[in-house]
C-alpha cells in the first residue's frame, strides 16, 4: 500500500470540500433543519409513530441519515465529474496509486463529509429537542457503513457520468427518490401491506431504520438484519467499483 500517496489524495479531497464548507456542510444542515421545522410544526400533534417518542424526535435520526447518505454520495461523485469535465483527472491517474488506494481515498473523504453533516444536524437539533441515545455503537456503525455505501455509489456515478446533466439525473431519479421513500418521515408500518413489502427492497430503508434504532432502541426491522443488508450492499458496490477502476472504464479512454 502506498500510504503516503493515498493519504495525500484523501487530504486533497478533504481540502476540496472544506474550502467551500458553507455549501458542502452548512447548507445541508440548514436544509435538514428546515425540514424538521416544517414537518414537526405541521404534524407534531397529529402523528405518533413510537410510544413515548414525539414525532419531532422521530424525525431527527431520519433527517440525519438522509443528509449523511446524500452528502457522502455528492462528495465523491461531484469530485470525479468535475475532474473529468475540466480534464484534471489525468493528474490523479498519473500518480503511483493503485485502484484500491484511489478507491479508499475517495471513500474515506466521502465518509468524513457525510458524518460531519450528520453530526452538525445532531448538535443543532438537540439544542431544541430532547433526543435519547440508546446505543452509540449502533449509531456509529450505521453512519459509517451507510456513508461508505453512498460514497462508493458516488464513485461509480462519477466514473459513469460524462457531463453534469448525467450526474443530476442520477441524483434526481435514483438517490432522492430512494431517500424520501425510505422511512425518513414515517414508519413503514403505517403503509399498506404492498408498500411495506416494496419498501423492504429499498436499501436506504435499512440504513435509516437501523440508524434510528441506535437512538430509540425501536425499529421496524431487526438492526442486525439491517446492518447485514447494508454491509452486503457496500461489499457488492465496492467490488464493482474496484473492477471498474482496474479496467479504467471511462477514465483511461
In the chain, the number of structural domains is 1
Place of cell 470540500: 17
Give 14: exposed, middle or buried? Use CB within 10 Å, 0-12, 13-18, 19+.
middle
Domain presence at residue 252: no
Domain presence at residue 233: yes
Domain presence at residue 19: yes
Going by C-alpha positions, the residue among 159, 183, 179, 172 that lies closest to residue 237 is: 159
Domain presence at residue 253: no
Q: Which residues contact 9 (CB under 8 A, 6 or more apart)?
A: 92, 95, 97, 101, 102, 105, 106
Domain presence at residue 22: yes
pTM of the model: 0.93
Give the range of the structural domain holding residue 42, as residue numbers without chain letter.
3-247
Domain presence at residue 90: yes
**What would the grid cell of residue 55 be?**
414525532
Residue-by-residue pLDDT tens, the chain, 253 positions = 889 999 999 999 999 999 999 999 999 999 999 988 887 777 767 666 777 778 888 899 999 999 999 999 999 999 999 998 888 888 888 888 999 999 999 999 999 999 999 999 999 998 888 888 999 999 999 999 999 999 999 999 999 998 888 888 888 888 888 888 888 888 887 788 888 888 889 999 999 999 999 999 988 899 999 999 999 999 999 999 999 999 988 887 6
Domain presence at residue 140: yes
Amino acid at each position: 500500500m502506498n500510504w503516503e500517496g493515498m493519504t495525500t489524495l484523501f487530504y486533497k479531497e478533504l481540502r476540496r470540500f472544506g474550502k467551500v464548507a458553507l455549501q458542502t456542510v452548512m447548507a445541508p444542515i440548514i436544509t435538514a433543519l428546515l425540514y424538521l421545522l416544517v414537518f414537526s410544526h405541521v404534524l407534531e400533534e397529529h402523528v405518533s409513530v413510537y410510544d413515548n417518542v414525539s414525532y419531532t424526535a422521530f424525525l431527527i435520526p431520519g433527517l440525519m441519515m438522509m443528509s449523511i447518505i446524500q452528502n457522502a454520495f455528492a462528495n465523491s461523485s461531484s469530485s470525479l465529474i468535475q475532474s473529468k469535465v475540466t480534464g484534471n483527472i489525468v493528474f490523479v491517474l498519473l500518480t503511483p496509486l493503485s485502484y484500491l488506494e484511489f478507491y479508499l481515498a475517495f471513500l474515506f473523504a466521502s465518509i468524513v463529509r457525510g458524518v460531519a453533516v450528520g453530526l452538525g444536524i445532531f448538535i443543532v437539533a438537540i439544542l431544541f429537542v430532547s433526543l435519547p441515545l440508546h446505543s452509540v455503537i449502533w449509531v456509529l456503525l450505521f453512519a459509517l457503513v451507510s456513508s461508505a455505501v453512498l460514497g462508493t455509489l458516488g464513485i461509480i456515478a462519477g466514473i459513469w457520468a460524462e457531463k453534469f446533466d448525467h450526474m443530476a439525473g442520477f441524483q434526481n431519479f435514483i438517490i432522492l427518490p430512494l431517500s424520501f421513500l425510505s422511512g425518513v418521515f414515517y414508519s413503514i408500518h403505517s403503509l399498506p401491506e404492498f408498500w411495506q413489502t416494496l419498501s423492504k427492497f429499498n436499501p436506504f430503508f435499512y440504513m435509516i431504520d437501523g440508524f434510528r434504532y441506535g437512538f430509540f432502541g425501536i425499529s421496524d426491522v431487526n438492526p442486525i438484519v439491517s446492518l447485514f443488508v447494508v454491509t452486503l450492499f457496500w461489499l457488492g458496490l465496492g467490488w464493482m467499483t474496484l473492477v471498474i477502476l482496474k479496467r479504467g472504464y471511462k477514465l483511461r479512454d
